[in-house]
Chains A and B, each alone.
Chain A
């Protein structure tokens, strides 16, 4: 209850409210009459207190800021892990680059050129400084700026992921609600069986199946899904249709099943019975009364799958010959092009952390107790 509301004129109401609260001792009246007198003073005092408190002090803002701070901290930790991990990798760029017959002198020269003779801490700090300014350094293999190369690749990946997300999220949530509506009846069983089948098939298999059916047999869409600069939007969309749908198949089942489970969990609450006894129709009960209380778990699993769409699409990109981030990273690993591997790792980690942070914040905001404190 809001502090200012404590000045109710009905003494019994005041009494009833205060009984549930723990008051400071100086104001905790022994008798209800005393409590009533105290209530007015208390109300005013708390109103002043509320004014003094900046919005920063609200529990909601505090929680969100904490969560954001945690993400930044996590990102730094991840940058360290990535750097150490890449350092610890066996194999050496100079050795791979020059081949078996390289002289030790030539290898040392290249290492010196790349600055690899300097201590790891100095290189880490230099790299981190660059990353903070959006500069990932130059590729060892091509010598060109990584940031430029990645920008284009990341755009492609985000477009593919965005397309898959736009199709799969509404579909998954909608199907989840339909499954709840027809719980344990034929539509629910059908949705469950099909989504299980989709999740059980490996993505490369689904990908090749789509290519066989839609591109080779029926010739509806083009293959490979290669995109290039200056490609018209329509053509681009057609190119990403098959890889996008493959991704939808991969992430749909997980989100759908979690939506179903989260809503079913809420459906056993007493307030759902209240809604039923108000004579509301089943769909309204699910959409209006159950779903808002299931937001947090659903958003979390959606975020995980979105992150997968960005980070885990290597296989699909390779199958469809799509120039995205995943392929870029795999190529870099084969030639030990460490700055590129680091950059891709950082971006993937950032996407993961960002999406999970957004999910958590939505979860926090969806809680009315935090949004509207007493």
Chain B
């Protein structure tokens, strides 16, 4: 039987514009081949830059930015779509092949109602009549678990939540009953408890409509729940291609094994966590006259150890960081630093207070001046806090670069010349330059690939051993918490749900929220999603 999609020896080029020198062509996908039968799901997995989105979009004969498909064949249902005219390609897009983007929030047009956007492709291609299309949209909204399917389409994108938008985007892709859907990291931007709902919705929709799918993600645990087959990609080439079970249970290649067994970091919890460096004492906070964001929050950071604050978007964890740094003075409550009350607002704090609490951000990109060299970036706190100049300053910069395991050559480079992981290392060095006692890390690894993130966590643990610095580690990722925390605080809707040593917080008996949070983290095994669904069904049946 002929396959639905047969990709042969795909080659994709892009033009790079290096700062010094003429534009040059680089190959970003090279010699990739795969087949996909009707109703089957193939997972494309790899780190950023592996070319997985580019391959996914080639199924729509689309090159993002300046990307060009320069070789190979993409045979869809017997036709090589790369050879079609622009008109012919338009007839394929939105009718036979549909696309679900990573960020539905950006991918929906803010100016139009969701329903009109969802049915647009089907109407333009004449697949369905207007009435049929809206009827099917209602049906799909219902299947995907969206609230009020009858009126959901009347809303504008900004009126619904991120998880709902992602499901609406899936409905949009399913609506014309395409042969193939390309899912491009559809759950990456979501909270875990939301992710699981969207995963369930996508899986159910694929099963009911018998559409085939390419599922692109960097998260092996997620793809394991959806895909029949998995292709592991690296630097635009196929590393390994096999069934999901084989990839997970008997990986052949070293790289695949690394992906499967990621998270080498394992820090033993400190036995004595009673010595508080920073104590947060019944803090309430809100922005302007808005609702209360932090509601009676109390916790402490053990000296020389790591407090992980875990919670989903809207839990108030980043606001807590703003309160600690003094950017947002609390409405009531106190913050004690070494048992001394810390002035509430930034202008009241002395330079020494500022020096002792440093911060690392999620996006190292936006936290560094792109026009400064690494030397300038690291030199600034040295001059500002310690008045260092000349030889002394150069020596210290070199020490810092050694500490973050970057070589001498990096000092005179610009942030743009560094990879994501290297930039985050520089951000860590900048925080260390102030010789702080506390570093607030706001999701420092969530924008990084798993292997790179692992390197950053290892580095942070090593630095803590060397300098006795304490961390407040803000994250939504339970695996990260398990890896590096001593104490853990679970936050939900502005309140502390649980706080204590890691071993206590992450072991039963759980409160409802922590239970839900822990159970929502995908596990790297086939059938995990079904198990969760089964448990849920039994629980709701028992009620």
Judge if B193 is at the interface, Cβ distance under 8 Å: yes
**Residues of B with C-beta under 8 A to A16:** 161, 163-164, 193-194, 197
**Residues of A with C-beta under 8 A to B164:** 13, 16-17
Q: Smallest distance from the beta carbon of B317 to chain A beta carbons, Å? A: 13
**Residues of A with C-beta under 8 A to B414:** none
- Asked whether A368 lies within 8 Å of B293 as measured between CB atoms, the reply is no
**Residues of B with C-beta under 8 A to A279:** 89-95, 121, 124-125
- Asked whether A368 lies within 8 Å of B110 as measured between CB atoms, the reply is yes
Q: Smallest distance from the beta carbon of A183 to chain B beta carbons, Å? A: 14
Can you pick out 29 interface pairs between chain A and chain B where the beta carbons lie within 8 Å of each other? Answer: A1-B160, A2-B159, A5-B151, A13-B197, A17-B164, A19-B313, A20-B161, A20-B162, A20-B314, A21-B314, A25-B295, A30-B495, A30-B512, A270-B103, A270-B107, A273-B107, A274-B108, A275-B109, A277-B60, A277-B98, A278-B121, A279-B94, A281-B90, A289-B112, A292-B109, A292-B112, A372-B155, A372-B158, A372-B159
Judge if A297 is at the interface, Cβ distance under 8 Å: no
**Residues of A with C-beta under 8 A to B291:** 22-24
B446-476 at interface with A (beta carbon < 8 Å): none
Q: Smallest distance from the beta carbon of A282 to chain B beta carbons, Å? A: 9
- Asked whether B497 lies within 8 Å of A374 as measured between CB atoms, the reply is no
Judge if A205 is at the interface, Cβ distance under 8 Å: no
- Asked whether A274 lies within 8 Å of B197 as measured between CB atoms, the reply is no
Cα A247 to Cα B124 with chains together (Å):
40
**Residues of B with C-beta under 8 A to A293:** 109-111
Judge if A280 is at the interface, Cβ distance under 8 Å: yes
- Asked whether B124 lies within 8 Å of A280 as measured between CB atoms, the reply is yes
- Contact among B162, B292, B512 with A33 in the assembled complex (CB-CB below 8 Å): B512
9 A-B pairs besides A288-B112, A369-B110, A374-B158 with CB distance below 8 A are A10-B145, A16-B193, A16-B197, A19-B193, A22-B314, A271-B108, A278-B120, A292-B111, A293-B110
Given A22-B291, A24-B291, A33-B512, A13 and B111 contact (CB-CB distance below 8 Å): no
A1-60 at interface with B (beta carbon < 8 Å): 1-2, 5, 8, 10, 12-13, 15-25, 28-35
Cα A276 to Cα B109 with chains together (Å):
12
Cα A127 to Cα B174 with chains together (Å):
69
- Asked whether B493 lies within 8 Å of A23 as measured between CB atoms, the reply is yes
Cα A99 to Cα B58 with chains together (Å):
85
**Residues of A with C-beta under 8 A to B76:** none
Judge if B304 is at the interface, Cβ distance under 8 Å: no
Nearest B residue to A24 via CB reads B291
A98-156 at interface with B (beta carbon < 8 Å): none
Cα A130 to Cα B155 with chains together (Å):
50
- Asked whether A12 lies within 8 Å of B197 as measured between CB atoms, the reply is yes
Judge if A269 is at the interface, Cβ distance under 8 Å: yes
Cα A289 to Cα B160 with chains together (Å):
20
- Asked whether A5 lies within 8 Å of B292 as measured between CB atoms, the reply is no
- Asked whether B148 lies within 8 Å of A28 as measured between CB atoms, the reply is no
B69-95 at interface with A (beta carbon < 8 Å): 89-95
Q: Smallest distance from the beta carbon of B69 to chain A beta carbons, Å? A: 15
**Residues of B with C-beta under 8 A to A369:** 110, 156, 158
- Contact among A2, A13, A271, A284 with B146 in the assembled complex (CB-CB below 8 Å): A13
Nearest B residue to A291 via CB reads B111
**Residues of A with C-beta under 8 A to B93:** 276-279
Give B contacts to A, CB under 8 Å: 57, 60, 62, 64, 89-95, 98-99, 101, 103, 106-112, 120-121, 124-125, 145-148, 151, 155-156, 158-164, 191, 193-194, 197, 290-293, 295-296, 312-316, 492-495, 497, 511-513, 516
Give A contacts to B, CB under 8 Å: 1-2, 5, 8, 10, 12-13, 15-25, 28-35, 269-271, 273-281, 284, 288-289, 292-293, 366, 368-369, 372, 374
**Residues of B with C-beta under 8 A to A269:** 106
**Residues of A with C-beta under 8 A to B92:** 279
**Residues of A with C-beta under 8 A to B163:** 16
**Residues of A with C-beta under 8 A to B193:** 15-16, 19
The winner among B120, B191, B497 for most chain A CB atoms within 10 A is: B120
Given A20-B162, A32-B512, A374-B158, A278 and B124 contact (CB-CB distance below 8 Å): yes
Nearest B residue to A272 via CB reads B109
**Residues of A with C-beta under 8 A to B312:** 19
Cα A19 to Cα B315 with chains together (Å):
7
Q: Smallest distance from the beta carbon of A308 to chain B beta carbons, Å? A: 29
- Asked whether B191 lies within 8 Å of A374 as measured between CB atoms, the reply is no
Cα A33 to Cα B543 with chains together (Å):
13
Cα A31 to Cα B146 with chains together (Å):
22
Q: Smallest distance from the beta carbon of B126 to chain A beta carbons, Å? A: 11
- Asked whether B109 lies within 8 Å of A12 as measured between CB atoms, the reply is no
- Asked whether B124 lies within 8 Å of A271 as measured between CB atoms, the reply is no
**Residues of B with C-beta under 8 A to A21:** 314
**Residues of B with C-beta under 8 A to A273:** 64, 101, 107
**Residues of A with C-beta under 8 A to B162:** 20
Q: Smallest distance from the beta carbon of B188 to chain A beta carbons, Å? A: 14
Nearest A residue to B536 via CB reads A12
Cα A259 to Cα B165 with chains together (Å):
30
Cα A8 to Cα B141 with chains together (Å):
14
- Contact among A17, A28, A274 with B109 in the assembled complex (CB-CB below 8 Å): A274
- Contact among A17, A34, A366, A368 with B161 in the assembled complex (CB-CB below 8 Å): A17
Given A13-B147, A368-B156, A25 and B161 contact (CB-CB distance below 8 Å): no
- Asked whether A277 lies within 8 Å of B99 as measured between CB atoms, the reply is yes
- Asked whether A30 lies within 8 Å of B106 as measured between CB atoms, the reply is no
Q: Smallest distance from the beta carbon of A34 to chain B beta carbons, Å? A: 8
- Asked whether A274 lies within 8 Å of B99 as measured between CB atoms, the reply is yes
**Residues of A with C-beta under 8 A to B146:** 13
The winner among A19, A32, A366 for most chain B CB atoms within 10 A is: A19
**Residues of A with C-beta under 8 A to B112:** 288-289, 292
Given A24-B292, A279-B95, A279-B125, A1 and B109 contact (CB-CB distance below 8 Å): no
Given A278-B94, A280-B94, A30 and B197 contact (CB-CB distance below 8 Å): no
Q: Smallest distance from the beta carbon of B64 to chain A beta carbons, Å? A: 7
Nearest A residue to B90 via CB reads A279
Given A16-B197, A280-B94, A5 and B109 contact (CB-CB distance below 8 Å): no
- Asked whether A19 lies within 8 Å of B191 as measured between CB atoms, the reply is yes
Cα A279 to Cα B290 with chains together (Å):
43
- Asked whether A270 lies within 8 Å of B493 as measured between CB atoms, the reply is no
The winner among A30, A35, A366 for most chain B CB atoms within 10 A is: A30
- Contact among A22, A278, A289, A292 with B290 in the assembled complex (CB-CB below 8 Å): A22
- Asked whether B111 lies within 8 Å of A368 as measured between CB atoms, the reply is yes
Q: Smallest distance from the beta carbon of A280 to chain B beta carbons, Å? A: 6
- Asked whether B124 lies within 8 Å of A8 as measured between CB atoms, the reply is no
- Contact among A18, A30, A276, A281 with B497 in the assembled complex (CB-CB below 8 Å): A30
Cα A276 to Cα B291 with chains together (Å):
40
- Asked whether B94 lies within 8 Å of A10 as measured between CB atoms, the reply is no
Cα A74 to Cα B296 with chains together (Å):
46
Cα A273 to Cα B100 with chains together (Å):
11
**Residues of A with C-beta under 8 A to B148:** 5, 8
- Contact among B290, B494, B512 with A28 in the assembled complex (CB-CB below 8 Å): B494
- Asked whether A19 lies within 8 Å of B194 as measured between CB atoms, the reply is yes
